[in-house]
Amino acid sequence: MGRNLTQKIISDHLVSGEMTPGAEINLRIDQTLTQDATGTMAYLQWMAMGLDRVQTELSVSYVDHNTLQMGFQNPDDHQFLRTVAARYGVIYSPPGTGICHQLHLENFAKPGRTLIGSDSHTPTAGGVGSLAMGAGGLSVALAMAGEPYTIPMPKVFQIVLNGQLRDWAGAKDIILHILGLLSVKGGVGAVLEYTGPGVAGLTVPERATITNMGAELGATSSVFPSDEQTRDFLERMGRPEDFAPLAADSDATYDRVIEVDLDALEPLAARPHMPDLVVPIRELDGLTVDQVAVGSCTNSSYTDLKTTALVLRDKIVAPTTDLLIAPGSKQVLKLLNREGLLEVLLDSGARLLECSCGPCIGMGGSPTSGGVSLRTFNRNFEGRSGTQDGQVYLVGPATAAHAAMQGRITAPATWGPAPEKPLLPGSVPSIKQLFIMPPPRETASSVEICCGPNIVPLEDFTALPDQVHAQVLIVLGDNITTDHILPGGAAVTALRSNLPAISTYIFNRVDPDFVNRAQKAEIGIIVGGDNYGQGSSREHAALGPRHLGVRIVLAKSFARIHKANLINFGILPLIFTDPADHDKITLGQNIELTCASLFTSPKTALNLDDGSKISVRHDLTPKELEIIKVGGLLNLVKARKK
């Protein structure tokens, strides 16, 4: 029987396990990436493993999230990351070089390779046919140690693209359309594999926009075949030797088939405050726009910024609107400069930001109180922009540029004829010299690792007691994001290397009394709804609660990366047997659980202090149970080394 592309890459990298959806598989990982906000923790964990040199084909440490350097904490992090990279054989990308996913796509991603990254948008590399997945920092550290990466074998959804994009519709509208169809949890447990006649017409930057936002569907990964577009892109990037053709067999089968008619697509937006609240732009006609931001790992390629520039050529941004532009990499910036487009953007009144994540994670660029912000980004969760009541709409670059010019959203029918699709120029400037290559193994051992005072080694975590008496610390609804659990923004993100300090921010935007309650209770339990922990890969959303004594999260269902992070740090993810029981639990209630029973049966009962019982279950593998029992994966790794 024919195989789809996902199955081919998985079987090429399968170390053990059965390729049956849901069964545990272990994959050999070729490449890893980290970014600064998750990287310090990842490398602290790597160092705790006591190894000498990374074992992967390629590992890169990018600094792109927090580059503000307000105070010593953040530059100390960068210095730590630079010295760790040199010491252990990792390539270092200094602050200002660009956003990890854009840089990885341009410089390192290869068709058919596996990549895990301590960032949820790592699947961007699926645009060149890598099987790329977001993971917690500890999982990435283990992959750097040469350990296989464990995931449940994903289902594979075939997304058949028919026809071609027309008028002002762009790649962002394809993925927004799919988000509208499937919802923010519609991709959980699946890889989205793109096929069909519409694929050939999409360039790699367009494909990368689509695979990037597969993360918003909760998908394990998203992947495009490697074809003539891929060859063309890799040639322009100066690395033709990295091309390899790759496609599904013609008789491949899939777990689900979703057809998308590209001819019928029009510019779309995701309304506040979820990426799946998708509406046509024409329905937002007339909405006043206070801020427009173009950039992020979703839409910061040269072609995205060229689209923006073509709309703004000889035009001026509306006086009531602030236009921010963050190019995805220095290569993009150099190209814009070389092609005369930087001048177009600057002359229009756009503000040029550093090549970094910037406003996407609240590093400056927050909108006004209650202000409407149109962003070419991938997440519009409440408060993520840094303005709690900011109204963030996710759009493509063409919509963003028109709104910046008009100061309001206008119907695409009034925009006039769309320009020809922008393409990368034939020759592209290299920025390879900006990556700091690690010294050879023989000299690397003499590199001194600089560890500033805000960098606190990870504490030891205790094993799970057989019997847990816990207090309900918070009861939450569906789709709680990791931004709810631990906000981004400059002030909080500067503390990513200091667990005791950052833990004081857990749930602070949702319930400012949470930390206080958690500190008083000896052991805590968090109660969530469906898709608990969607969004980022930040381990701190598991580590913080663990530091505050949380040992159980009971939810209707979990997002993949966050669930793995909970397990990695010894927090038990339990599921309601009957989701309706969620409403029976109240804040402050005490519960009792015989954890020992979970090791013999996946079902058990929670005893509530009003005398009632609630049936709960887990879907953990024997290995995951063992990790939780000993108090976390690092404990297990250390125990095995002894």
What Å distances lie between residue 115 and 36, 57, 297, 400, CA to CA? 17, 10, 17, 31
Span 103-162, contacts to ligand SF4 by CB under 6 A: 119, 121
* Other beta carbons within 10 Å of 144: 26
Give the one entry of ligand MIC, ligand SF4, none that residue 525 binds, where binding means its C-beta sits below a cut-off of 5 to 8 angstroms depending on kind: none
Identity of the residue, 277 or 357, whose beta carbon is nearer to ligand MIC in the bound complex: 357
* Residues in 20-39 that interact with ligand MIC by CB under 6 A: 37-38
217 by Cβ neighbours in 10 Å (0-12 / 13-18 / 19+) ranks as: buried
Candidates 410, 536, 557, 604; binder of ligand MIC (CB under 6 A) is: 536
- Report which of 396, 393, 363, 359 is spatially closest to residue 168, judged by C-alpha positions: 396
Query: Which residues are CB-contacts of 415 (< 8 A; sequence separation ≥ 6)?
Result: 168, 311, 398, 402
Prior bond of 121 cis (ω within 30°): no
Give the whole-angstrom CA distance, residue 94 versus residue 436: 8
Output the smallest distance, CB 502 to ligand MIC, in A: 11
Give the DSSP letter of residue 117: E
Part of the chain binding ligand SF4 (CB under 6 A), chosen from 139-147, 357-365, 514-522, 595-603: 357-365
Residues pairing with 144 in the sheet: none
Stretch that binds ligand SF4, among 42-50, 70-78, 164-172, 354-362 (CB under 6 A): 354-362
Spatial distance between the Cα atoms of 329 and 256, rounded to a whole number of angstroms: 36
- Answer yes or no whether residue 213 interacts with ligand SF4 by CB under 6 A: no
Q: Which of residues 85-104 bind ligand SF4 (CB under 6 A)?
A: 99
Q: How far apart are CA 515 and CA 443, in angstroms?
A: 46
Q: Residue 38's binding partner, choosing from ligand MIC, ligand SF4, none, with beta-carbon cut-off 5 to 8 A by kind?
A: ligand MIC
DSSP category for residue 364: S
- Beta-strand pair 190-195/155-162: parallel
Stretch that binds ligand MIC, among 47-55, 113-121, 439-447, 466-474 (CB under 6 A): 113-121
Q: Which stretch binds ligand MIC (CB under 6 A): 186-194, 216-224, 423-431, 529-537?
A: 529-537
Which of ligand SF4, ligand MIC, none is residue 537 near (CB under 5 to 8 Å by kind)?
Answer: ligand MIC
Packing angle of the helix pair 330-338, 302-312 (nearest 10 deg): 40
361 binds ligand MIC (CB under 6 A): yes
537 binding ligand MIC? (CB under 6 A)? yes
The contact mask relative to ligand SF4 for 292-331 (x = CB under 6 A, - = no) is ----xx----------------------------------
The smaller minimum CB distance to ligand SF4, of residues 161 and 394, is found at 394
Choose one: 168-176, 331-339, 403-411, 533-541; the region binding ligand MIC (CB under 6 A).
533-541
Binding ligand SF4 by CB under 6 A: which of 378, 454, 531, 568?
A: 378
Burial class (CB in 10 A: 0-12, 13-18, 19+), 170: buried
Q: Which residues bind ligand MIC (CB under 6 A)?
A: 37-38, 65, 119-121, 134, 361, 379, 488, 535-538
